[in-house]
Structure 1
Amino acid sequence: MIQLLPESALRKVTAVAAAAMVLALAGCADMAGIDSHAKLRDADSLGLSQAQPAAAAAVPAIPAVESQWWLAFGDAQLDALVNQAIEGNPNLQVARARLARAQASAMIAESALKPQLNGSLDLTRQKFSDTYIYPAPLGGSVQETGTLQLNGSWELDFFGKNRSALDTAIGAANAAAADQEAARVLLASNVARSYFQWARLSGQLAVAQRTLAQRQETLALVRDRVSAGLDTRLELRQSEGGLPQARQQIEALNEQVEITRHALEAWVAHPNATQSLTAPALADIKPIALQPTIPADLLGRRADIAAARWRVEAATRDVANARTQFYPNINLVAFAGFQSIGFSNLMKSDSQQWGVGPAIRLPIFEAGKLRANLRGKAADLDAAIESYNATVLDAVRDVADQVASAQSIGRQQVEQRDAQAAAESAYDIAVQRYRAGLGNYLNVLTAETTVLAQRAQAVDLAARALDTQVALARALGGGYQPSVETAALSSASTHP
């Protein structure tokens, strides 16, 4: 004899069997074997330590670079130009807009963690079918239908899908904030380097003008000697040939000065910004202290490295989000409002309706879409990690190069000053011997060539020293500090 189960028990068994079948089918959405394989480089793997110098110390150390490092040069014109650039440069404004966009995306992601409520009003004039589910007299008639309703939902984030999406958006926003700071540091360094290039050209122009005056004096001396019969027209023509050469060099330098000023005006986004400025003099610009070693905390001082690290964090959270796609999506939904046939009945108490209950969605067979998505996110994470590693390696090289250049330039300047002093002395002696008739004009020309080369080199080395100081300040992070917005977003990420 077969005993049938009660109807209520049968329903329970059926529900349990259905749930078991769903869970079994869900096993088809398998995420096994899909992982990121790239590894982040740390300070030890890069050879960074407190005890390891980049080169022999030749300049005093400073503990960190100030955020407004350009003030240390003591040039009010430079300070004003950098401030103008930070306020108005379009590229920096683009970086700020990208940050605002990324922050808005984080706010959108955060809203998914909270209950949602919206209202709807639908008013329709409709002909009902004669052959559908509606019997006469409704079937075949034309009626007005209305629905006024509030709809609410709250996704219960049991598996962390929305939480990981928010963390991804916060990582992207933090990366955008660091990118903005990197753009600010780069902009300030470009303004300073262009300004010092203007100073270098001004110094070279002063050398060229001094050369022209010197050659005019020499020409007058040669003419006197030719008139006295002590020299021939050969020496006269040689002396005359030096003047157009000096004037041509002055003109070429004036052209470069104009081009450099135009570049400065482009950086500060203000045409004619340099018209009211005085040409800078290298001697009036104070050198700043340099860092003689690569600091172990370099990874935290550069905005580009911070941005790359935040992109790794965002990609990591994105992988976590892709994993949560394999799990059920559980929503609590509810609605309440009015629905009627005939607009005049819409607001009557008899037209009220409401409903509440859970809504569950579970991936069963996605034809490999979820695994492909996870594999793609893992590849994005590998790319972000390797991009970070490349940024770190380039930063270490950049700092090492600038330190080596700064120390070498210092040593070169010492030697160059000695060489210039010797060349100036030799030139004075050659002119005196020529004036006294004890030497020929060829000796004067030879000595002058050496002097001119040393004067030009002195200007170039002084400008290179300043340029290297700017490059090193940028390489050491330019005083980067996480912005207030970044700190707030990070706090939101760790405190839901």
Structure 2
Amino acid sequence: MNREQTARHARGIRVWLFLLSVVAAAGCKVGPDYHRPAPLGTNSVPAAFTGITNEPGSARWLTAQPASHLPRGRWWRIFEDGELDRLEDLAEGNNQPVMAALARLDEARASVKVARADLLPQVQLDPSYTRQRTSFYAPQNGHAAGIAPTYNTFTALLQAGWEADVWGRVRRQVEAARAQLGASAEDVAAIKLTTQAEVASDYFTLRALDSEADVLVRTIETYRRSLELTVNRRKGGVATDLDVSQAETQLRTPEAQLPAIRLQRAQVVHALASLCGRVPEAFALTAEPLGLGAAPMAPVSLPSELLERRPDIAAAEQRMIAANANVGVAEGAFYPHIVFNGLAGLQSVDATTWLHWPSRLWSVGPSLELPLFTGGRNRAQLSLARAQYEENVANYRQVVLGAFQEVEDQLAAQTLLASQLEAEAAALKAAQRTLEIANNRYKSGLVTYLEVATAQSAALTLESTVVQLRGQELVAVVGLVKALGGGYGPATERE
């Protein structure tokens, strides 16, 4: 082996050693690896749900660890209402915010593919044909080179390039894109859960309004009969004009209230139509009062880890992961970019020789781009990425705090509304007994109609209050299910 061959062999070994070192270094990644921060910062995680007692219970709060993979199921079936089931199914397939969220999920999937493409070699074919003329006064004009000043160029080039991701900058980009994909998936779940909860809340509000309207209609009929009775008693000389006036005033009050209830009902139906992706003209719901069954109550030992399946917490963490990866992307800008380029092809000024072997050309070799001066751009981008990460940490902690608040609010509402409903129901029974006694005393001529009117007004007010509380109690159950991420026990998970 002569000296020239030895030198060429040594250069080849050095090239291969360089390539091996690049491959070995490819396992490194710039930037910090993600570690979940404390969910409440410097504050300690509460020991348990406090509800309205502020005393530790058997259900303990756990450090928020998004577990959105836990089944949510068709949680609204705990209400055993076929019409609600139908509306939920209709909203699931037609709600436009859900459709928009699904489109954003597709966008995020495409973004991951775009980011991953930078890890692979890029190859392209560039065939071209040009006809051109060289300047007579050019340093090497066509005449001096023995070429006609006007000539054709036929070219077909196959070009390839690959960036060796030595520092892991591109891999951090992929990591960020995947985290954004995860956030988009959780956003879809969050919007679906919100839509489901809104449908259920509006549905129970609608049924409560139907019950109120039913109470008013029955009251109007009762008051109308009372007015007729009072008028007849006045004709017989038993009742006075004041009794008639009081009976008429009593009748006109619920008659004036009924249109307002019907207006509220129409607005709730329109809201449900929008949630279900329908125009109001093509959407109607038959009036049906609330059922008399007890509302589903949260178990006393409600496991607080169900909070971990809230999709908004999971989405906030995924955005935090993406922001952390973007810090690595920004740090990667300080390191050199190593790119391997190559091309091969054919080029000729004559079409007859274009495809001949002597027309071939090729080049191959690495290039290195090392940033020396960027006017502070790279440092500013790194500061921006770090600030965005801190912003996402704060957002994550606020979502966790909001989740604690929502669960506590809904637990307190469910407990207090149940107690209030029980008390109001007992008061209603007493008022109905009072009304019955007042009617009997009035018919016997022992009292004036004012006593009857007062008893009827009290009974009407209490019956309307009971109906409203019943609707609020069901809405509170829906709120608790939503606050816990969809369901609060094995029954809902099995659905």
- 1:75 partnered with 2:77: no
Deviates more, 1:367-376 or 1:216-225: 216-225
* 1:42 CA drift (Å): 4.7
Q: Paired residue for 2:16?
A: none
Aligned residues of 1:168 and 1:317 also touching (Cα < 8 A): yes
1:222 pairs with 230, 237, 240, which one? 230
Between the aligned partners of 2:348 and 2:225, the Cα distance in structure 1 is: 107
Q: Paired residue for 2:184?
A: 176
Matches within 5 A, 1:140-159: 141-159=149-167
Aligned residues of 2:40 and 2:401 also touching (Cα < 8 A): no
Q: Paired residue for 2:249?
A: 241
Between the aligned partners of 2:42 and 2:480, the Cα distance in structure 1 is: 22
Give deviations 1:202-231, integer Å, cap 9, x for gaps: 000011011101101211221222122112
> Which segments of 5 or more consecutive residues in structure 1 lack a partner in the other structure?
1-7, 13-30, 481-496
Deviates more, 1:470-479 or 1:270-279: 270-279
Q: Paired residue for 2:94?
A: 88
* 1:344 CA drift (Å): 3.2
In structure 2, the residue corresponding to 1:343 is in which secondary structure?
Answer: coil
* 1:422 CA drift (Å): 1.1
Q: Paired residue for 1:54?
A: 51
Aligned residues of 1:419 and 1:454 also touching (Cα < 8 A): yes
Give deviations 1:122-149, integer Å, cap 9, x for gaps: 2111111233343443567011112201
Give deviations 1:145-204, integer Å, cap 9, x for gaps: 122011111111110011000001111111111111100000111111111111010000
Q: Paired residue for 2:398?
A: 390
2:337 pairs with 329, 336, 345, which one? 329
Q: Paired residue for 1:268?
A: 276
Aligned residues of 1:294 and 1:396 also touching (Cα < 8 A): no
2:213 pairs with 205, 229, 241, which one? 205
Between the aligned partners of 2:120 and 2:484, the Cα distance in structure 1 is: 42
Between the aligned partners of 2:304 and 2:427, the Cα distance in structure 1 is: 39
Between the aligned partners of 2:264 and 2:49, the Cα distance in structure 1 is: 42
Q: Paired residue for 1:103?
A: 109
TM-score of the aligned structures, taking structure 1 as reference length: 0.84
Between the aligned partners of 2:150 and 2:237, the Cα distance in structure 1 is: 125
Aligned residues of 1:66 and 1:479 also touching (Cα < 8 A): yes
Between the aligned partners of 1:77 and 1:286, the Cα distance in structure 2 is: 18
Deviates more, 1:239-248 or 1:377-386: 239-248
* 1:321 CA drift (Å): 0.8
Q: Paired residue for 1:21?
A: none
In structure 2, the residue corresponding to 1:473 is in which secondary structure?
Answer: helix
370 and 299 in structure 1: CA distance in 2 versus 1, 3 angstrom threshold: farther
Q: Paired residue for 2:387?
A: 379
Between the aligned partners of 2:256 and 2:303, the Cα distance in structure 1 is: 47
Aligned residues of 1:178 and 1:306 also touching (Cα < 8 A): yes
2:124 pairs with 111, 118, 122, which one? 118
- 1:312 partnered with 2:320: yes
Between the aligned partners of 1:476 and 1:65, the Cα distance in structure 2 is: 12
In structure 1, the residue corresponding to 2:131 is in which secondary structure?
Answer: strand
40 and 146 in structure 1: CA distance in 2 versus 1, 3 angstrom threshold: farther
In structure 1, the residue corresponding to 2:352 is in which secondary structure?
Answer: helix
Identity %: 31
Aligned residues of 1:200 and 1:282 also touching (Cα < 8 A): yes
Give deviations 1:10-29, integer Å, cap 9, x for gaps: xx9xxxxxxxxxxxxxxxxx
In structure 2, the residue corresponding to 1:149 is in which secondary structure?
Answer: strand
1:363 pairs with 368, 371, 383, which one? 371
TM-score of the aligned structures, taking structure 2 as reference length: 0.84
73 and 290 in structure 1: CA distance in 2 versus 1, 3 angstrom threshold: same
Q: Paired residue for 1:283?
A: 291
In structure 1, the residue corresponding to 2:102 is in which secondary structure?
Answer: helix
* 1:48 CA drift (Å): 3.6
Matches within 5 A, 1:432-471: 432-471=440-479
* 1:257 CA drift (Å): 1.5
- 1:401 partnered with 2:401: no
Code of the aligned partner of 1:348: H
Aligned residues of 1:129 and 1:140 also touching (Cα < 8 A): no
Matches within 5 A, 1:26-65: 40-42=38-40, 45=43, 47-49=45-47, 51-56=48-53
Aligned residue pair count: 448
361 and 254 in structure 1: CA distance in 2 versus 1, 3 angstrom threshold: same
Q: Paired residue for 2:21?
A: none
Q: Paired residue for 1:193?
A: 201
* 1:327 CA drift (Å): 0.7
In structure 2, the residue corresponding to 1:146 is in which secondary structure?
Answer: strand
Give deviations 1:239-274, integer Å, cap 9, x for gaps: 122223222222222222112111111110123588
* 1:284 CA drift (Å): 5.8
Alignment RMSD, CA only?
Answer: 2.9
Give deviations 1:59-81, integer Å, cap 9, x for gaps: 999xx884211111111111111
In structure 2, the residue corresponding to 1:331 is in which secondary structure?
Answer: strand
Give deviations 1:357-398, integer Å, cap 9, x for gaps: 111111111111100000001111111111111111111101
2:355 pairs with 344, 347, 350, which one? 347
Q: Paired residue for 1:492?
A: none
Between the aligned partners of 1:394 and 1:371, the Cα distance in structure 2 is: 35
Code of the aligned partner of 2:387: A
Code of the aligned partner of 2:210: S
Q: Paired residue for 1:486?
A: none
75 and 46 in structure 1: CA distance in 2 versus 1, 3 angstrom threshold: farther
